[in-house]
Amino acid sequence: MSTKLSIEKFNTGTLNNIGNTSLIDLSSLSENDSVKIYAKLEGENPTGSIKDRVARCLIFDAEKNNKLKPGQTIIEPTSGNTGIGLAMISKIRGYNMIAVMPDSVSSERTSLLKSFGSEIIFSKGKDGTNGSIKLAQKIASENPDYFMPFQYGNQASIKAHYYTTGKEIITQMPNITHFVAGLGTGGTLMGVGKRVKEFNESIKIIATAPHPDDVVQGLRSIEHGYIPPILDLDKLDGRIMVEAEESFYWTKKVMETHGLFVGVSSGATLATCIKMSKRLKDSVIVTIFADGGWKYLSSGIYEKEFSELSEEIDGKVWW
């Protein structure tokens, strides 16, 4: 396939700085000296999240296949990060952008979207990202001139991680035995999973998921009734559930121990790695820290104890 070379030609200015993120050694947090833990810092991307990779590939793929024309309007359901990435690239490449997202997202996300010139249409927070998907699909059907990349069902979401994230991980940590990522759209798990298993089929792909009754992390629970079309559960080697409290705990803990200011979904994936380290031997776990913590400052989660945060975190979308 020529996708990789074409993506390189697509890159301009800031877009050249998407990817090639750092891999940080967090093995001091492991419960077993023979189990190493590493995290890929996706907050280093231009708008501060792993979704810049996806946004670039979504727009590139649409341009390559003549689905996008100059000045056209892009509409996308998002919990924030993909929308921000799309808004940034749309600004650079001359598209209009509409982000459809829950009204429970952090104020930093809405401010950044507006800064990039995006229009925002809010869905009901209680309906989560599933509600945003339904609303965006309705609006798109009523406006056939709009283009909806639809990250949840677009193979470009997988390509983004197959050609960049997965390749980088193999280069940075060729002795990886386990890969851990949050269960969101499925793009990261599917794309990285495919790439690393081609490299070494014994590498295990593990999804971090919220408990079905606990949605504050913004990770996707398949028990909530919607499985993204690009997510093939049969290609996962495991799914480990995490509670909100442990996700917040490890988000703050890694800031205290390593000075890493990351989002709550990063705390969730780290919690998964810690659990795995208790039962594994002679293993190398690589996980994804999907975004930085600055988009969540208004919540106060970095300053307060979990027991003090019930009102601030109730129903919020964290990823």
| Residue at 211 is within a domain | yes
Would you say 119 and 98 are in contact if contact means Cβ atoms under 8 Å apart?
Answer: yes
Q: At what angle do helices 81-93 and 51-64 cross, to 10 degrees?
A: 50
Q: In terms of domains, do 168 and 95 share one?
A: no
- Residue 290: count other Cβ atoms within 10 Å of its Cβ: 29
Q: How far apart are CA 193 and CA 178, in angstroms?
A: 10
* Catalytic residue flag (residue 49): no
| Interior angle at CA 286, CA 282 and CA 290, nearest 5 | 160
Q: Which of 115, 142, 169 is the last residue of a domain?
A: 142
- What are residue 98's phi and psi, to 5 degrees? -125, 120
- What CATH number is given to the structural domain containing 75? 3.40.50.1100
Domain shared by 60 and 83, yes or no = yes
Has residue 156 been placed in a domain?
Answer: no
What is the amino acid identity at position 319? W
Domain of 218, in residue numbers:
3-44+161-313
Do both 168 and 305 map to the same domain? yes
Q: Is residue 184 part of a domain?
A: yes
**Collapsed DSSP state (helix, strand, coil) of residue 161:** helix
Residue 233 CB: number of other CB atoms within 10 A? Answer: 12
124 with 196, same domain: the answer is: no
- Asked if residue 151 belongs to a domain, the reply is no
Predicted confidence at residue 235, as pLDDT, reads 96
Same domain? 196 vs 246: yes
Domain boundary among 96, 112, 142: 142
Residue 298 near residue 106, CB atoms below 8 Å: yes
Known catalytic membership, residue 265 = yes
pLDDT of residue 7: 53
Question: Contact at 8 Å (CB) between 290 and 319?
Answer: yes
The answer to whether residues 37 and 63 belong to one domain is no
Per the domain annotation, does 175 fall within a domain?
Answer: yes
Q: What is the pLDDT of residue 9?
A: 54
Closest alpha carbon to 22 in 202, 259, 274, 319: 259
**What local confidence, expressed as pLDDT, does residue 250 receive?**
96
Q: Beta strand pairing status for 204-210 and 283-289?
A: unpaired
Residues 212 and 293 in one domain: yes
Please identify every stretch of the chain with a pLDDT value under 50, giving residue numbers as ranges: 1-3, 5, 215-218, 221, 223, 319
pLDDT confidence of residue 1 = 39
pLDDT at 5: 41
Catalytic residue among 40, 51, 252, 275: 51
Question: Is 318 contained in some domain?
Answer: no
Residues 207 and 244 in one domain: yes
Q: Strand locations in 124-244, DSSP E?
A: 178-182, 204-210, 238-242
Q: Are residues 102 and 128 in the same domain?
A: yes
Whether 174 and 122 share a structural domain: no
Looking at the structure, tell me whether residues 165 and 76 fall in a common domain.
no
Q: Residue 147 domain-assigned?
A: no
281: in domain: yes
Distance of CA 250 to the CA centre of its chain: 18
Question: Residue 123 has what DSSP assignment?
Answer: E
Q: Which of 157, 265, 283, 299 is catalytic?
A: 265
Counting the structural domains of the chain, the total is 2
pLDDT value at residue 3: 46
Q: Across the chain, where does the E strand assignment appear?
A: 23-25, 35-41, 73-77, 96-102, 119-123, 178-182, 204-210, 238-242, 283-289
Domain match, 122 and 174 both? no
